[in-house]
Amino acid sequence: MAALAVLFCFLLLGWGTAQAFTTTSGQLQVTGDAVNVRSDPNTGAQIVGQVNDGEILQEKTKNDEDWYEVAYQGGPGWVSGQYVQEYQPSSPSSSTQATGSSSTPPGSSTSSKGASFYGIDLAEYPGDNVMQAWWDNSPFYYTGFYLGPAPYHPDTSFMDKRQVLVNQGWGLLPIYVGRQADSWSLDQGTEDGDDAANLAASAGFPSHTVIFLDIETSSTLSESFLSYVTDWVSEVESRGYLAGIYCFVDNTSQITGALPGNVQFWVSYYIGNDLPSPIPCPADSGASCASEWQCVGDTCLTYGGDSLDIDINTSAYTDPCTESVNVKK
């Protein structure tokens, strides 16, 4: 729809020959610093933001002049193809996942590596009725829960919804989007860890809840950023919470080498655009340490009459924040 709107504008305003658009569904990796994200696919369009080397963007469409429409800060944006490349993460290990038997609950499966359960991730809370409809009608067991305001996620729509979601039956995956690899203030790991703990407490999460620090780059991380991550983890744990890391398969081993062994890992590596079946086991993501796997990005599904744009995850737990399993009846 967005591509059709852009095409209509080009024809209406007489901006030369109409462009051809191709729907895409992969990921792009940024290859330059301070790359402009624009409102339309041309250098004269408004700059809506910037991305930096190593960041991963979700593709939507591509035109014949080598511009890509991408998902950016909850909306569309356009980047020039000369500053991005198709994202090619490390290949995951061959899956040993077995199809669940008829006795396997919907939204779960088992393999030699244990059980797996579907989960969703969406940036803003869609409403109590929508979440109830999805719990009642979908195969998903848990949802991401964004703590905010955080340095790179100002939205606070989840913050008073913990008990509502727990009452509905949802497991939760608390997420803190802290400073990123290109941030200038990477000495704030302790402060941000304290902030994450305060936000978790404010939202009603008890001690020993796992809080995930969201790292949005697949590139090799600098020592200063690894220090930020280490300080964040130490502070979260000193406050009585457990630490988790969301990262890409590509840099998981680097992060695990810098952190203590009790940190939980949620890794990203996309394997398609639809609900995968059978449910992938997180340990087959290419990172054997993973207990959560974001395996599909930016897809739209409908359950109970309500449509949501989500990322799809699988987990060894129905409730990742407590590392527990309680299947739907």
Domain residue ranges of the chain, discontinuous segments joined by +: 21-86, 109-315
Decide if 21-86 and 109-315 have a common fold.
Answer: no
Q: Name the CA dihedral angle for 250, 185, 257, 220, rounded to a multiple of 10 degrees.
A: 30
Contact 70, 62 (CB under 8 A): no
By DSSP bridging, strand 114-121 and strand 140-146 are parallel
What pLDDT score was predicted for residue 91? Answer: 46
pLDDT in tens, 65-102: 889 888 776 567 899 999 988 876 554 443 333 333 33
| Widest CA span in the chain | 61
Distance of CA 66 to the CA centre of its chain: 26
Candidate from 5-9, 35-39, 59-63, 302-306 with smallest mean pLDDT = 5-9
pLDDT in tens, 214-273: 999 999 999 999 999 999 999 999 999 999 999 999 999 999 999 977 899 999 999 988
Beta strands in 31-170 (DSSP E): 35-38, 47-51, 56-63, 67-72, 75-80, 84-86, 108-111, 114-121, 140-146
Question: Looking at the predicted structure, is the pLDDT value of residue 1 above 60?
Answer: no
Higher pLDDT pick, 291 / 76: 291
CB-based burial of residue 300 (10 Å sphere; 0-12 exposed, 13-18 middle, 19+ buried)?
A: exposed
CB neighbourhood size of 325 (10 A): 16
CA nearest 245: which of 201, 196, 202?
196
Higher pLDDT pick, 101 / 300: 300
The CATH class of 21-86 is mainly beta
Q: What percentage of the chain reaches a pLDDT higher than 70?
A: 84
What pLDDT score was predicted for residue 19? Answer: 53
CB neighbourhood size of 130 (10 A): 17
Q: Which two tokens stand for residue 158?
A: 């989840």
CB contact set of 124 (below 8 Å; sequence gap of 6+): 74, 146, 155, 157, 158
List the helix and strand counts (H, then E) for the chain: 6, 17
Higher pLDDT pick, 24 / 126: 126
What pLDDT score was predicted for residue 27? Answer: 76
Q: Which two tokens stand for residue 136?
A: 């009642």
Tell me how far CA of residue 135 lies from CA of 43, 99, 303, in angstroms: 44, 23, 9
Question: Looking at the predicted structure, is the pLDDT value of residue 153 above 60?
Answer: yes
What pLDDT score was predicted for residue 292? Answer: 97
User: Averaged over 25-31, what is the pLDDT?
Assistant: 75
Question: Looking at the predicted structure, is the pLDDT value of residue 144 above 90?
Answer: yes
Mean pLDDT over each residue of the chain, to the nearest integer: 85
Q: Which two tokens stand for residue 140?
A: 């998903």
Question: Looking at the predicted structure, is the pLDDT value of residue 8 above 50?
Answer: no
Q: Under CATH, which number does the domain 109-315 receive?
A: 3.20.20.80
pLDDT band at residue 24 under the 50/70/90 scheme: low
What pLDDT score was predicted for residue 255? Answer: 96
Contact 279, 108 (CB under 8 A): yes
Question: Looking at the predicted structure, is the pLDDT value of residue 164 above 90?
Answer: yes
Backbone angles phi, psi at 207, to 5 degrees: -60, 155
What pLDDT score was predicted for residue 74? Answer: 53
Q: Which two tokens stand for residue 278?
A: 């059978």
Amino acid identity, residue 159? M
